Amino acid sequence: MTDTFAARPPVPPEFDPLSPAALLDPASMFERTRTEEPIFWHDLLGTWVVTGRDDVEKVLMDWKAFSCKGNGGSIPVPEEFTSSVTSHLMSHISISMDPPIHTEMRRIAQRGFLKPVIDALEPEIVERAHRIIDSFADRGTAELMEEYCLELTTQTLMALMKLPAELEPMMRQLRDDHFAVLASGREPMEEPRRTEVWTRYTAAQNRLREIVRERRESTETDLISVMASAKNRDGEPALSDERVALHLCEFSAAGTDTTAQGMANALIFLSRNEEQLAEVQDDPALWPTVFEETLRRRPSAPFASRQATQDVELSGVTIPAGDMVWVALASANNDPDHYPDPKQWNIHRDEPTDHFAFTKGRHTCLGQPLGRTQGTAGIRVLLERLPSLRIAPDATQDFLPMIMLPIRRSLTATWDSSDSTDR
């Protein structure tokens, strides 16, 4: 057992989350490590990295031994912005809360993601997808990341929250700014970017607080109204204006970028697997499994983080109380002990939803019903309208290099415009 700091397993040489190879395929970092060094300590990141599927599942399922509280408390709020956004508020980000406070927030927000709500939204998602495709279908080429994937997820978010069109630029920027703020706890921002990000982020939170106040007595089913109108046992608002706005910032990021990344990855896998693409185009019932297998093979977020509340042993390694732990979702989803031929993208797996892309346990992604519905509809409509669309094998793929969530910035596709179909 290795239970002293000096004996902590070192970082494997292939573990470099910001390397070109890892950005393209995060799972590639863990092929040897899962067997030889399944748990190791990263001194620069100040965290343990857990790679085996069974160990990852243990961490995700045991919220008492592996707390989320360390995820928000380390976010440094610049002093000039603390009058609007406090460190105490940031500690209430949903990914940094444990039961019972997390349970209450989740109970309230979940009403906005119930299946009837998402089912009612699906026709609008499809209609918006068609309108976006109409704008570029006759060109034969498009930069899909911004023009389609992020455009669709942002428009869906606007509909889910029932926000006016003039706030679209703010919500588009908010998705990047929120992730940058989250990452700053581990990857400090330098000036002038720090001030630029926090200026926009604070302004967005203040604007969302105004909308929350306006909808306190609303009976509508949009996400903001659902959260704003929720009352506690005394008939008072269950969540403060600040708390609701903070969670809306989270949803604006997680609900747009991660699904957009999943859609982009699905298009890449389909372009590389012509035989399976032909099967899907012949059998539309396979579209949901396309998105699920994409999330298994390449989850949008390669890691999730926790903090040990007690000494815990995993795979012969003792993780001391207080230490941070990153579970490698990309590794767990490609563990050959659980998935036959895991590197193969295969839409015919027996249990297509058996993956950790939405994590697991009490912090399973709240928005997974929306993510699954939107991701599936997005790629289905695109390839039904543009059946010859493909991502070039040598297409440049650039990323915003953030370890916890490497954000793809561009994805160029081409197609024969004469093959495009009308809606």
- Domain spans of the chain, in order of start: 5-419
Residue 29: count other Cβ atoms within 10 Å of its Cβ: 23
* Predicted TM-score (pTM) of this structure: 0.91
Question: DSSP readout, 110-161?
Answer: GGGG-HHHHHHHHHHHHHHHHHHHHTTTTTSEEEHIIIIIHHHHHHHHHHHH
Distance CA 306, CA 314 (A): 14
Q: What is the pLDDT of residues 325-346, one digit of tens each?
A: 999 999 999 999 999 999 999 9
Measuring CA to CA, how many Å separate 42 from each of 35, 45, 46? 18, 5, 6
For helices 115-134 and 368-385, the axis angle rounded to 10 degrees is 30
pLDDT at 192 over 50: yes
| Residues β-bridged to residue 47 | 42, 324
Measuring CA to CA, how many Å separate 190 from each of 47, 205, 255? 22, 22, 27
Q: What is the pLDDT of residues 4-51, one digit of tens each?
A: 444 688 899 999 999 999 999 999 999 999 999 999 999 988 999 999
Distance CA 269, CA 290 (A): 9
Distance CA 368, CA 365 (A): 6
Residues in the chain: 423
pLDDT of residue 93: 86
Q: Give me the mean pLDDT over the 256-280 stretch.
A: 96
Q: What is the SS3 assignment for 66? A: strand
Q: Which of 402, 29, 343, 393 is nearest to 181 (CA)?
A: 402
Measuring CA to CA, how many Å separate 352 from each of 61, 296, 304, 324, 338? 20, 8, 21, 30, 13
pLDDT of residue 226: 95
Instruction: Decide if 150 contacts 264 (C-beta within 8 A).
Output: no
Measuring CA to CA, how many Å separate 172 from each of 154, 205, 410? 7, 14, 15
Q: What is the pLDDT of residues 340-380, one digit of tens each?
A: 999 999 999 999 999 999 999 988 998 899 999 999 999 99
Distance CA 267, CA 156 (A): 19
For helices 274-282 and 287-297, the axis angle rounded to 10 degrees is 150
Q: What is the pLDDT of residues 199-253, one digit of tens each?
A: 999 999 999 999 999 999 999 989 999 999 999 999 999 999 999 999 999 998 8
Which class in CATH covers the domain with range 5-419?
A: mainly alpha
Q: Which of 130, 128, 121 is nearest to 161 (CA)?
A: 121
Beta-carbon contacts of 1 under 8 Å, excluding residues fewer than 6 positions away, are 313, 316, 317, 318
Residue 123: count other Cβ atoms within 10 Å of its Cβ: 10
